[in-house]
Amino acid sequence: MNFEMIRAASVRAEGHVRRTPLLSSPFLNELAGRPIYIKAECLQHTGSFKFRGGWSALSALEPEIRARGVIAFSSGNHAQAVAHAAALHGTSSVIVMPADAPTVKINNTRALGAEVVLYDRGTEDREAIGSALAKERGLTLIRPYDEPQVIAGQGTCGLEIAEQADELGIEKATVLTCCGGGGLTSGIALALEKSPHHVRPVEPYGFDDVARSLATGSISRNNRQTGSICDAIISPQPGDMTFPIMQRLCGPGLVVSDDEALRAMAHAFERLRLVIEPGGAVTLAAALFHADQIEGDALILTASGGNVDASMFARALQTLETP
Amino acid sequence: MNFEMIRAASVRAEGHVRRTPLLSSPFLNELAGRPIYIKAECLQHTGSFKFRGGWSALSALEPEIRARGVIAFSSGNHAQAVAHAAALHGTSSVIVMPADAPTVKINNTRALGAEVVLYDRGTEDREAIGSALAKERGLTLIRPYDEPQVIAGQGTCGLEIAEQADELGIEKATVLTCCGGGGLTSGIALALEKSPHHVRPVEPYGFDDVARSLATGSISRNNRQTGSICDAIISPQPGDMTFPIMQRLCGPGLVVSDDEALRAMAHAFERLRLVIEPGGAVTLAAALFHADQIEGDALILTASGGNVDASMFARALQTLETP
């Protein structure tokens, strides 16, 4: 896992992955007490940065391997990213999802061209189902974060951040990343290793496995897997591959509440005209509500995704009326 | 008013006006029955394309004239655009607004650095107030659309559309523009005059002054000035300067309902993760709900702005639940 792999992923991504804009607002600068810049990954294909990793992984496969198809376990953004990247590469994808996943997510993943295989969370083992299918059909498994080419793909977001910071004259920034398993965080940290910018991961309260692991120096798990609206960035624990990278390159983790994420979504609606999902808004929440814990004259914040349903977004908008 | 003025405005805009992304979604293509691309001007500074015109006008003034300050009449997007462009040029702005304008718009315009002068719509004449102030202080009036440098600024959006269409391999598109006084429409039409792309303006039902004027060949007025949620693109009649350009270069106008605009906003939320205001969503509404009236293998749609309040946006989201 190194910088050259990110560069190579970036070349493969050209013309396929969107260079998302780095946005700002004088109103948000005022609220945050310093210039802040939002890297709008919610505008990426399939609505999240995950498409970078999906594209990178698919495009890195040998053509004859790729032609047999790929498989992923996900009910969320990784599912749609892999499905779409596979379809655009002219190959097939199988996405293994829990049978109780929201119908809209199942339908969207199918509409993007995937074969969706449902399993019962209570009685079935998704790994066993996936392994059997993969073996039977010769499918390649695309892991959501502990996968070098996926990390390389997410790292392309970091290359763009470095370029855009240069274009905007931002000399040195603290870069906050929305952090689940650490694919985006470690990819960006590697991409920015030789830059003046410094990365810090942000997580929701109660699901701060990365923050705790960084603090103690060894991987620790979350007690729960559900119970935060920031579902897009909840994972059991930091990846075996992503954690050493984060440990070497990242500053301490930051933690925000669900309510702060909702308020940040509302500010992004009002001042940036962006739809950000709760997990994608934790970085803006940290910048707005935990400024005292963050060093740096300027902040760059990844807004990692925008796949949020209307009722949750309406909840976020309500926070504008009760300041 | 010519292409060279748009080119010159584009040079002056570099590094100051955002190159907004041209976005798409396979889901929207499916709904529209052909590839559609959304030019996200809601992501422009101050949340609408108006910043292009404001920046162009301010940057074209002689320094000693500019230093005396500028004045504009507007309660909407033009107000914020002129205020912000003036502040960034280090000069002052006076914005004349009706006293019954929403408090949030007055406050935002002030926060962007403008002096807001309020008048009573019932008893006072804003032109008289503005003229007196302009004369007294030597301010330059920046009209919202019938102003060559403003049209040139809006035209820079057309130059970007031509470039981005090339990058995406779109050979020939019908370009739909959100149309009020015609500044954006005429600017884009001029910018695309020598291109394979063709412009058609879109308006809300009951406020289709441009469509009627194009159909009859002479300027006709709207009967009303209020009563559409698409307030950002309501103007009394096409401009004396913009109409001849539209007449020469544009195809017939299209008209959509408020309800269609709301539904289009909801689709943009769900599939593009963009916040678009009702007036900015009329083009997507035309593409989705009036496809039979629009020729062309591919469509490019301006989403002209995103300054919408939370309650109106919540109304749009509700259309997703009642398909």
Q: A209 with A296, same domain? A: yes
Decide: B188 and B155 in contact? Cβ < 8 Å.
yes
Q: Is the CB of B104 inside 8 Å of chain A's CB atoms?
A: no
Helix axes B50-60, B3-13, angle to 10 degrees: 90
Query: Which residues of chain A make contact with B266, given a CB cutoff of 8 A?
Result: 310
* A104 reaches B (C-beta below 8 A): no
Query: Domain tally for chain A?
Result: 2
Residues A231 and A90 in one domain: no
Answer whether B317 touches A (CB < 8 Å): yes
Residue B41 resides in a domain: yes
Residue B322: the pLDDT is 53
Same domain, A153 and A258: yes
Q: How far is CA A268 from CA A34, A177, A227, in A?
A: 16, 16, 23
Q: Same domain for A219 and A179?
A: yes
Q: Is residue A217 part of a domain?
A: yes
**In a domain? residue A191:** yes
State whether A15 and A133 are in the same domain: no
For Cα atoms B302, B305, B307, give the angle at the middle one, nearest 5 degrees. Answer: 160
Q: Does A272 touch chain B (CB under 8 A)?
A: yes
A130 touches chain B (CB under 8 A): no
CA distance B187 to B76: 20
The interface predicted TM-score of the complex, written ipTM, equals 0.96
Q: Are A107 and A117 in contact (CB under 8 A)?
A: no
Mutate to test the interface with A, among B80, B164, B273, B317 (most CBs of A within 10 A): B273
What strands, in cross-sheet order, belong to the sheet with A70-73?
A115-119, A93-98, A70-73, A140-141
* pLDDT in single tens digits along all 323 residues of chain B: 899 999 999 999 999 999 999 999 999 999 999 999 999 999 999 999 999 999 999 999 999 999 999 999 988 899 999 999 999 999 999 999 989 888 888 999 999 999 999 999 889 988 889 889 999 999 999 999 999 999 999 999 999 999 999 999 999 999 999 999 999 999 999 999 999 999 999 999 999 999 999 999 999 999 888 889 999 999 999 999 999 999 999 999 999 999 999 999 999 999 999 999 999 999 999 999 999 999 999 999 999 999 999 999 999 999 997 54
**Domain final position from A87, A112, A138:** A138
Do A36 and A73 belong together in one domain? no
Q: Is B270 on the interface with A (CB under 8 A)?
A: yes
Packing angle of the helix pair A148-167, A183-191 (nearest 10 deg)? 50
pLDDT of residue A323: 45
Report how far residue B295's alpha carbon sits from residue B34's, in angstroms, rounded to the nearest whole number.
11
Task: State whether A259 and A110 are in the same domain.
Answer: no
Q: Do residue B154 and residue B268 come from a single domain?
A: yes
- Residue A236: alpha-carbon gap to chain centroid: 15
CA distance A192 to B255: 49
Which phi-psi region, left, alpha or beta, contains residue B15 (left: φ > 0; alpha: ψ -120 to 50)?
Answer: left
A240 and A179 share a domain? yes
Q: Is residue A154 part of a domain?
A: yes
Q: Of the residues B83, B106, B138, which one is the last residue of a structural domain?
A: B138
Q: Among partner residues B43, B111, B321, which is closest to A273 by beta-carbon distance?
A: B43
CB contact under 8 A, A275 and B276: no
Q: Supply angle C-alpha A181, A183, A188, rounded to 5.
A: 135
pTM of the predicted structure, to 2 decimals:
0.96
pLDDT tens-digit map of A167-214? 999 999 999 999 999 999 999 999 999 999 999 999 999 999 999 999
Same domain, B264 and B155: yes
Each residue's pLDDT tens digit, A106-133: 999 999 999 999 999 889 888 889 889 9
Whether B268 and B281 have beta carbons less than 8 Å apart is answered as: yes
- pLDDT cut 90: percent of chain A above it: 89
Domain that holds residue B201: 3-49+148-318
B14: in domain: yes
How many Å apart are CA B198 and CA B173, to the nearest integer?
7
Q: Quick one: CA dihedral B203, B205, B209, B210, positive or negative?
A: positive
pLDDT digits 0-9 by tens, A26-74: 999 999 999 999 999 999 999 999 999 999 999 999 999 999 999 999 8
Q: Which structure tokens are listed for B317?
A: 């989201």
Token pair 């989705």: residue: B288
Q: B287 with B187, same domain?
A: yes
B57 to chain A, any CB pair closer than 8 A? The answer is no
Residue at which a domain ends, from B138, B161, B181: B138
Task: Note whether residue A54 is domain-resident.
Answer: no
Does residue A79 sit within a domain? yes
Same-domain check for residues A130 and A204:
no
B164: CB partners within 8 A, 6+ apart? B22, B37, B39
User: CA nearest B9: which of B194, B240, B188, B244?
Assistant: B188
Taking only the tens place, the pLDDT of each residue in A214-265 is 999 999 999 888 889 999 999 999 999 999 999 999 999 999 999 999 999 9
DSSP 8-state code for residue A157: H
Is residue A279 within 8 Å of residue A35, measured between CB atoms? no
Rounded to whole angstroms, how far apart are CA atoms A209 and B13?
A: 45
CB-defined contacts A:B, below 8 A? 74
Distance CA B234, CA B21 (A): 25
DSSP, collapsed to helix, strand or coil, labels residue B133 as helix
H/E/C letters for each residue in A26-65?
Answer: HHHHHHHCCCEEEEEHHHCHHHECHHHHHHHHHHHCCHHH
B242: in domain: yes
Assign residue A281 the CATH number of its domain.
Answer: 3.40.50.1100
Please answer whether residues B133 and B117 qualify as being in contact, where contact means their C-beta atoms are separated by less than 8 angstroms. Answer: yes
The pLDDT tens digits for A268-323 are: 999 999 999 999 999 999 999 999 999 999 999 999 999 999 999 999 999 997 54
A273 to chain B, any CB pair closer than 8 A? The answer is yes
Q: How far is A309 from chain B (nearest CA, A)?
A: 8
Residue B112 has its nearest CB partner, among A26, A42, A321, at: A26
Instruction: Please count the other Cβ atoms lying within 10 Å of the Cβ belonging to residue A4.
Output: 9
Torsions phi, psi for B305 (to 5 deg) = -165, 170
